[in-house]
Amino acid sequence: MEILRTITEVREYVVGQRARGARIGLVPTMGYFHAGHLELMRRAGGAGYTVVVSIFVNPTQFGPGEDYERYPRDLARDAQMAQTAGADVLFVPEAAEMYPSGYGTYVQVEGVSEGLCGAARPGHFRGVATVVCKLFNIVQPEAAFFGQKDYQQVMVIKRMAADLNLPVAITVVPTVREADGLAMSSRNTYLSPEERRQALALYQALRLGERLIKSGERRAAAVETALREGLQKPGVRLDYAEVRRAGDLARVEVIEDDAVLLVAAWVGQTRLIDNLVVGV
């Protein structure tokens, strides 16, 4: 498995692959892989794509005071894991390769970028949309693979790809969880053992909300109250707990279509997110 550092190298690799009849599947990541990332790679490989995995801790999606500097990085470990999961090539650019001096273009997705994580992290989804747009143009994949854990991110990217006519099929892969239900996240590495136990509150709150809907509750406000109560645990500080329409993240008062329950909370110094889609 090759590790490529420059846009030129990746383009040459892709052109070569395509000349041999390959279709390209892109897995955009910020590295520090866990089982969720590996599942994305396996899904891409399993669907017959040549698997290009990008590792780029994207500065434009971090706000001031966020964890850009301390975000975990370990390329040697990532390379070994990716190879095992069937990645064909890693694209690992420096920040200056993606954002050279004089850089000034940003992709803004209105609507789905607002509220939820967009409220807590202004500019975050602008950075996400921008870097994914660039990666799509650099790699020109037939398909790209994202984890459902970042639900709003997936909606932003789908909206962007459709709006900007980027001919890339977006595949969303279900969230991979620890045995006790905690959603896999590179940020889980920040948690102390006690925080790791407290962090389970997110998934437990989601399951509580799910049970409520399954038992017939259709008032979004009632479900949101239950989510918030489920997050009122020692060491856990609520950011948001919302019920939205799964298809487009529209706010709902009465749940009539498939819903997505979305929560974000601080556990110590670590902000975690999770979600659950509930069919009705």
Kind of pairing between the strands at 89-91 and 50-55: parallel
Give the integer Cα–Cα distance in Å for 139 and 93.
13
In order of 39, 133, 153, 257, the CA distances from 246 in angstroms are 22, 23, 13, 8
> Which position among 3, 22, 75, 166 is part of the footprint of a second copy (CB under 8 A)?
166
Shortest Cβ 173–a second copy spacing (Å): 23
Does 160 bind a second copy (CB under 8 A)? Our answer is: yes
CB nearer to a second copy: give 163 or 253.
163
Number of Cβ within a 10 Å radius of residue 23: 13
State the catalytic residue, choosing from 27, 30, 31, 37.
Answer: 37
Q: For residues 203-262, which are near a second copy according to CB under 8 A? A: 248
For residue 86, CA distances in Å to 49, 178, 181 come to 10, 22, 26
Give yes or no for residue 17 binding a second copy (CB under 8 A).
Answer: no
**Piece in contact with a second copy (CB under 8 A), picked from 41-49, 164-172, 184-192, 220-228:** 164-172
Q: Is 34 a catalytic residue?
A: no
6 and 93 in contact (C-beta within 8 Å)?
A: yes
Taking CB under 8 A as the criterion, the residue among 87, 133, 176, 226 binding a second copy is: 133
Residue pointed to by tokens 């143009």: 137
d(CA 202, CA 182): 8
What does the block give as tokens for 162?
Answer: 């459709």
Q: Which residue in 167, 193, 216, 234 binds a second copy (CB under 8 A)? A: 167
Hunting for tokens 């992290």 — which residue is that? 121
Chosen residue from 37, 121, 149, 159 binding a second copy by CB under 8 A: 159
Count of C-beta atoms within a 10 Å radius of residue 247: 12
Q: Which is nearer to a second copy, 1 or 166 (CB)?
A: 166
Per CB under 8 A, which region of 116-124, 145-153, 161-169, 266-274 contacts a second copy? 161-169
Q: Which of 1, 7, 200, 277 binds a second copy (CB under 8 A)?
A: 7
Please tell me the distance from the alpha carbon of residue 224 to that of residue 257, in angstroms, as a whole number: 16
Which range of residues in 130-138, 171-179, 215-223, 226-234 is near a second copy by CB under 8 A? 130-138
Residue 6 makes contact with a second copy by CB under 8 A: no
Closer residue to a second copy in complex, CB, 129/182: 129
- Tell me which stretch binds a second copy (CB under 8 A): 24-32, 110-118, 231-239, 257-265: 110-118
Closest CB to a second copy among 64 and 100?
Answer: 100
Report 50-109 residues binding a second copy (CB under 8 A): 102-109
Whether 42 and 82 have beta carbons less than 8 Å apart is answered as no
Residues 6+ apart with CB under 8 A from 63: 121, 122, 123, 124
Rank residues 160 and 267 by Cβ distance to a second copy and give the closer one.
160
DSSP structure class, residue 65: T
Q: Which amino acid is at 272?
A: L
Instruction: Give me the active site residues, please.
Output: 37
Catalog residues that contact a second copy under the rule CB under 8 A.
Answer: 7, 11, 102-112, 129-130, 133-134, 137-138, 159-160, 163-167, 248
